Amino acid sequence: MEPACPIGVDRHQGRSGQGRMDMKRLSGFLKDRAGNIAVIFALSLVPVIGMAGVSVDTARLINVRTSLQAEADATALNAAVGGPDSNFAVQINAMNDRVMASFGNSGLSDLDVNGAWNGLDFRVNASARVSTVLIHALPGLDDSVRVSVRSTARLHQPMLQYEPPEVSWLDPEAGDYNRIYVYCYDPDPDADKTPEQRRTQRTPVQDNNGINFLTRWPNQYQWPRCEEGETISFELYNLRFSRTNPERIDHNPSNDRNWCQHTATADFPYPCRHRYFTDTAHVNGQEHHNGLQYDILETVLCESLDECKPVTQGGIIPTGGNRNPQRAAQGCSPGRYMYYGWEDRPPGLPGGTGSWTQMGWTDRDYDDIRIIMQCPQLDTTRERYVRLIE
């Protein structure tokens, strides 16, 4: 019988040899360079495809944006040519149809096209979502991108020529002294001007002391002739408790405390002097009185001068107190007339409302100052054209 020890040694040596063989195989695998290019290529394929997708999708987005911008420019120009009174919805709808016909089957969706007038500027805003082909394979990126453009065309047309009021009344029974001024206003939002610099050619027109400044002193006061883009606007100067003392309007406001029945505050250091500026701008052919902070003005569009009379006289001008003022919903086109009715003590001022001597009191009848203006005519000696400004 053979000894057991050699058998045990042989078994131990067998296990050790198998372990050394496994380690050699692992070491060889780690040292082996065969196939590395394929592995590296596979690992780098994802960012390469992603970058290729970025290039493809970027080119596509640029193409869509360029086409959308060209359409917006053309639409803004075509709408501006028609002027603020034209139906620009036709141009907006046509642009929408053209864009969808060009890109509707190419991943373009959620198209939004709109336009609006601001004075003599017509702006088009357009945006749409464009689906991506490969770029969304990258982490954190959506499968579509919103593209937005805008374009503004300015209408240079024969200037609007306003003539002095056909009729003007200022209530002689009011306890306050009221004076109406007219001025030219520049509503250009891009103009680097203060509100005071936008108001030029300020001229007194009428007061409730029976004075028409234009007819009494024609050599001193002339009706303003506004420049292109400017609009005729009005200022109401309300001087409290001074109906029979109109000279106070030219006095030092620091002396108002000798007769003013209102108490001065930080917001109203001179509580008996109130100036209201319309700062008129035309938006979509309609007057917007952007300077008025209080509900002070009523406007009514009349087809004829005869129609611009109170309803009690067979006209269409509303009467009565404690009411909300009307607003003309249409623009003032040649041949028509615009009625302006002012409330010299508008609602919303601070202070008590129980007595006429309190600053917040109002009767809301909108007839303290009444002016009827003929709608402006176009100066046909000037050339009409449009150009892109944005």
320 and 336 part of one domain: yes
Q: Do 217 and 342 belong to one domain?
A: yes
Residue 7 pLDDT greater than 50, yes or no: no
Asked, for residue 17, whether it belongs to a domain, the answer is: no
User: What's the confidence (pLDDT) of residue 106?
Assistant: 78
The reported pLDDT for the residue numbered 11 is 45
User: Looking at the predicted structure, is the pLDDT value of residue 136 above 50?
Assistant: yes
Distances (CA, A) of 24 to 14, 19, 371: 15, 9, 107
The answer on 309 and 181 residing in a single domain is: yes
| Confidence bin at 240 (pLDDT 50/70/90) | very high
Cα-Cα-Cα-Cα torsion 206, 212, 218, 220, nearest 10 degrees, comes to: -50
Q: What is the DSSP string of 289-349?
A: ETT--SS-EEEEEESSTTTSSBGGGTSSB---SS-PPP---S---TT-EEEEEE-SS-TT-
Say if residue 169 is in the same domain as residue 150.
no
Q: Is 5 a domain residue? A: no
250: pLDDT strictly greater than 80: yes
Residues 205 and 105 in one domain: no
Is 134 a residue whose pLDDT tops 60? Answer: yes
| Cα dihedral 45→47→50→54 (10° resolution) | -130
Tell which residue, 304, 313, 311, 314, has the closest CA to residue 326. Answer: 311
Domain that holds residue 107: 36-154
Max distance between CA atoms of the chain, in angstroms, equals 151
Q: Is residue 243 part of a domain?
A: yes
Domain boundary residue among 103, 122, 154?
154
DSSP 142: -
| pLDDT for position 5 | 46
Question: In this structure, are 171 and 205 located in the same domain?
Answer: yes
Look at 25-34, 84-93, 239-248 and tell me which has the smallest mean pLDDT. Answer: 25-34
- Asked, for residue 207, whether it belongs to a domain, the answer is yes
Query: Do both 240 and 352 map to the same domain?
Result: yes
Q: Are residues 176 and 322 in the same domain?
A: yes
Which range (31-40, 185-194, 298-307, 369-378) has the least confidence? 31-40
Domain boundary among 107, 136, 154: 154
Pairing relationship of beta strands 369-374 and 167-170 according to DSSP bridges = antiparallel
More confident call, 60 vs 212: 212
Calculate mean pLDDT across residues 149-171. 83
Q: Are residues 222 and 279 in the same domain?
A: yes
Domain identity same for 360 and 264: yes
Reported as a pLDDT band with limits 50, 70 and 90, residue 6 is: very low
Tens of pLDDT, residue by residue over 262-282, are 999 999 999 999 999 999 988
| pLDDT > 70: percent of the chain | 81
Q: How confident is the model at residue 112 (pLDDT cuts 50, 70, 90)?
A: very high
Which pLDDT value is given to residue 382?
Answer: 65
Per-residue model confidence (pLDDT) at position 267: 94
Q: What is the pLDDT of residues 52-109, one digit of tens each?
A: 556 777 888 889 999 999 999 999 999 998 887 789 999 999 999 999 999 878 788 9
Any idea which residue has 């944006």 for tokens? 65
Q: Is residue 105 part of a domain?
A: yes
Lowest mean pLDDT among 52-66, 181-195, 207-221, 340-354: 52-66
Say what the pTM is.
0.66
**pLDDT for position 282:** 81
Give dist(CA 130, CA 133) in Å, integer.
10
* Pair (361, 235) in one structural domain: yes
The answer for residues whose C-beta is within 8 angstroms of residue 340's C-beta and 6 or more apart is: 234, 297, 298, 299, 369, 370, 371, 372, 373
Does residue 109 fall inside a structural domain? Answer: yes
pLDDT digits (tens, 9 = 90+) for 308-352: 999 999 999 999 999 999 999 888 888 899 999 999 999 999 999
- The answer to whether residues 185 and 324 belong to one domain is yes
Domain boundary among 154, 187, 211: 154
Using alpha carbons only, what angle is made at residue 11 by residues 8 and 12, rounded to the nearest 5 degrees? 90
Residue 230 falls within a domain, yes or no?
A: yes
pLDDT for 46 beyond 60 = no
For residue 12, is it within any domain?
A: no
For the chain, what is the domain count? 2
What is the rounded average pLDDT of the residues 13-33? Answer: 56
